[in-house]
Structure 1
Amino acid sequence: MTLATVCLMNVRSRPVKACVHLCRYPSLAASATSDLPGARCRTAMRCGRMWTRKVINIVGTSALVLTGCLAGVALATPVTVTVQDAGGVLVDAVVSLETARPVPATGTSKTVSMDQLNSQFVPAVLAVRTGSLVRFPNNDQIRHQVYSFSPAKKFELPLFQGSTAAPVRFDQAGLVTVGCNIHDWMLGYIVVLDTPYFGKSGSDGRVQIDAPAGSYTLRVWHPRIKGAALSEPLVLSRDALQRRVTVQTTGTAPAVAPPDDRVRALQDKFRRAADPKKPSP
């Protein structure tokens, strides 16, 4: 059902009152009869416009069962995608379902974090919506200088330690490769997407996405993918769908660089600077 949001207050075999959020279908306002003060919908709605609450009469039936509110779109279909290469399933693959036109983001901007721990970015891969804010807290005992020269987002955070750096807003879709000017091996990837339908694979290589029925482009990206992201058409019906995708990869997974003598020296120097009471060797 794709009408305006309807939250049934009662379900019987006679006309019942309902709360209608008039957003995409203002013509339904003609059916409204009176305000319904105090009525609340228990399901989170996503609509970029102001809602108006009115009461209309709807013919209910004992066979009608609603378990939530219909938010102006068809019910979501679960899609499970398993990503693999020739060697097996892949962790940290970003899977997205994209429509012909970008889906506008609604609500407030989401803030996520890419930490710096043991001279590594954690997580190494982030997938975010356009407009999201990303924090780069530094939990190491040495300072880092985070930067990116990627076209989708160019930025640089001066040397810092702790959580003093301001968050960075990613407002353009694309792949952003993040590095550290001090530690060359540190690499992170932020995939910025113009769709709300995306996820990142876990240790089993699987991603589950809930999206309305319709036509999409399925895209799969991985840090070791050979060439551009895999792209193929996908049509969703109302039935749950499972898809296994095989991508070509290059090289091996990036190794976690253990602290060498140079890094240990930097760490010791930073600790001594932070603790003036500690005698220098």
Structure 2
Amino acid sequence: MMNMALYKREMKGSIKLLIIFAAVITLYVSVIISMYDPELMKTLDSFTEAMPELMAAVGMTANAASLLGFMVSYLYGFILLIFPMLFCILRGNALIAKYVDKGSMALLAAAPVKRRTIAFTQMKVLVSGILLLVFYITILEIICAMSGFPGELDVTELLILNGGLLCLHLFIGSICFLSSCIFSDTKYSVAFGAGIPIFMYVLQMLANVGGDAEKAKYFTFFTLFHPDGIIAKESGAAAGILVLLAGAVVFYTLGIMIFDKKDLHI
């Protein structure tokens, strides 16, 4: 069902983008993990206490009791959400809508390949990119933690946590992919494919601040990804991850079906 020639060509485009995001993530992850120190943590906590609303908005909390808790506080509320999300947005739009908008889809559709195969292949390209990025993040975190603080990191918990992170970004990618399949114009594909995840993240930031704004958590899917709950093995956190994974499967499947029946005007 997958066209290998198309997959290889599109993966080359993904690799270039992945290298850029991997470089940026490497900088942030390596620097933040290297800052794990009981004395320095007191300084970071003082910033959090001085600007509680600002730090809470990007998911940063004080008083982390372990290296993994420290990583959750300073990586999983902003850095590891935003950059993979940007990858999903940029790549998701380029795989379907950009081809249709430029008229290049005529070349693909003219080949003896079913539309469903084209859509499934492009979906595999996006999913593969997300898998590679999360896999790289995991390896990077393990290397940085073990080289700087041997024996401090619970690798099993990190793998479970990043499994949840993967499900979150697969879900975000599915929104971008579905938007790309629905709209033939890239401006609409980007408006919805980028606009929905970004708006959801803004709602999550408001919810993190607390107070009356905390109710915003009921209107954003980011609430389903709860790093602290995942580490604590809470059933609610596990359920949230399963919902994200199920939603991703539904949206990817729906995107393929819509593209298969779509009037491309070519």
TM-score by length of 2: 0.23
Greater C-alpha Rg: 1
* Structure that is richer in strand per residue: 1
Higher relative contact order (CA 8 A, sep 6+): 2
More helix by share: 2
